[in-house]
Amino acid sequence: MIQSKVDSRFLGSVKHSFFIFPDIPKHVQQFLWVVAAFLACFFIVILWKKFKVASVLKELVGIVFSSSKEPLKKTKKTSVSSSNSNRINDGGMKVSSDQEVLDWLVMTKASFDISVERAGQRTLAAVVEVTGIEGLDVFVVIKDAITDSLIKPGAKVKCIFSELQKGEKKVNAFVGTIKSLSENGGMAITRNSAFGFIRRRAFSRRKVADQRFIKIKVWRLDDDDFDIDFILDNIEPEIIIDNRKDVAANSKSEQILDISKGGLALLGTIRDGGNMMSRNDKLLLCMLIYQPKRKTFDPHLIFCEARAANSAGEGLIRLSFQFLRSLKIPPRKRSTLFKGQAVMAMTLAQSAKGKK
């Protein structure tokens, strides 16, 4: 009897020791439960991220759904065009053959640029939209004729479209010949090459580091036959950009936006009474470029064509030119193309010394 009482007392004390909050106030117990729940959630989140549970579950769901749809894929017959559309919708502009490139062009009614070689460089002639394919012929309709004179039967063209991934290489172009041209803007281009890759821009453009380094005068020409001496001596240019102080880039002021071996773009204003400029206008461009090593301005006279002319607001017009050929500068005009160009060169040389 004595032993059994001792055992029951001992077991009772052990039983009561398993209560989690013995003799703790209720509000303290609630607080501790909240802390415990927070710690449990914290550790669950850490484990979830560490072992990437979400991605594993996603893969499992994908496997289940793909396996359930597999029998349907085996029995369903798809055409070449539908398989290509699936390929495009899946996010991959990927193709495996020239035929798939052609299918993509027709399916998406792709727009592409047509360029023609002129004056030793590539010139954008038109922007077109694909309407159909027949053998080696690609049928298009002209959306925007940039240079009408270059679009004619027999002209060799380079056609550049959006990039596609063909195997391990990118393709975005083919070379062809204009086969026919209709009055309503339809055109047939015969492919003379497989699909390859051509850089969309023939020359890399550069921003002007300091607007004082370059000076511009622009005259609009009525035709290709002109007298340089007469123009320089007697006709006021339509546009003059001669910044004596540097201009902040992208500001709404007259400036040279960028320049390359093939042309330049600028923001300028047409002088009062001057001739407005539009696309395809022939231009005479007088340009001074400062040469730091020689501490002088290097003069250039260039025959150009306007490729774009758009209003930029605040009385400014945005113009881009394509250089067609360099012209000989009359010797007596080399040092007087701009007023005070020798003084400007000395000022730039002195400011360069001051910075050092």
Residue 284: other Cβ atoms inside 10 A? 21
pTM: 0.65
- Clarify whether residues 155 and 124 are in a common domain: yes
pLDDT-flagged residues of the chain (< 50): 1-21, 63-92
- Clarify whether residues 250 and 120 are in a common domain: no
Place of tokens 């550790």: 43
Please indicate, yes or no, if residue 10 is contained in any of the structural domains: no
Q: What is the pLDDT of residue 250?
A: 67
Rg (C-alpha) for the chain, rounded Å, is: 37
**What would the pLDDT profile of 28-48 be if each residue is shown by its tens digit?**
777 888 888 888 887 787 776
**What would the pLDDT profile of 62-113 be if each residue is shown by its tens digit?**
544 444 444 433 333 333 344 444 444 344 478 888 899 999 999 999 999 9
Q: Which domain holds residue 119?
A: 95-191
Q: What is the pLDDT of residue 49?
A: 67
- Clarify whether residues 309 and 170 are in a common domain: no
- Clarify whether residues 286 and 232 are in a common domain: yes
Sequence-ordered alpha helix ranges (H) in 205-282: 228-234
Q: What is the pLDDT of residue 159?
A: 95
Boundary residue ending a domain (139, 159, 191): 191
How many domains are contained in the chain? 2
- Clarify whether residues 181 and 214 are in a common domain: no
**Cβ(174)–Cβ(159) below 8 Å:** yes
Please indicate, yes or no, if residue 318 is contained in any of the structural domains: yes
- Clarify whether residues 211 and 295 are in a common domain: yes
**Cβ(337)–Cβ(299) below 8 Å:** yes
Q: What is the pLDDT of residue 51?
A: 60
Q: Which distant-in-sequence residues (6+ apart) come within 8 Å of 23 by Cβ?
A: none
Please indicate, yes or no, if residue 75 is contained in any of the structural domains: no
- Clarify whether residues 248 and 320 are in a common domain: yes
Nearest to 277 by CA among 321, 246, 247, 314: 321
Please indicate, yes or no, if residue 1 is contained in any of the structural domains: no
Residue 122: other Cβ atoms inside 10 A? 22
Token digits of residue 245: 């102080």
Boundary residue ending a domain (129, 163, 191): 191
CA 87 – CA 79 distance, rounded (Å): 12
What does the H/E/C string look like for 298-342? EEEEEEEEEEEEEEEECCEEEEEEEEEEECCCCHHHCCCCCCCHH
Please indicate, yes or no, if residue 73 is contained in any of the structural domains: no
**Cβ(174)–Cβ(136) below 8 Å:** no
CATH of the domain at 131: 2.30.110.10
CATH of the domain at 343: 2.40.10
Boundary residue ending a domain (191, 218, 249): 191
- Clarify whether residues 262 and 184 are in a common domain: no
Please indicate, yes or no, if residue 49 is contained in any of the structural domains: no
- Clarify whether residues 187 and 212 are in a common domain: no
- Clarify whether residues 216 and 294 are in a common domain: yes
- Clarify whether residues 116 and 225 are in a common domain: no
Q: Which residues pair with 323 in a beta bridge?
A: 304
Q: What is the pLDDT of residue 335?
A: 79
- Clarify whether residues 169 and 221 are in a common domain: no
Nearest to 241 by CA among 308, 338, 345: 338
Strands (E), 135-238: 137-145, 156-166, 169-181, 186-191, 206-207, 214-221
Please indicate, yes or no, if residue 219 is contained in any of the structural domains: yes
Please indicate, yes or no, if residue 349 is contained in any of the structural domains: yes
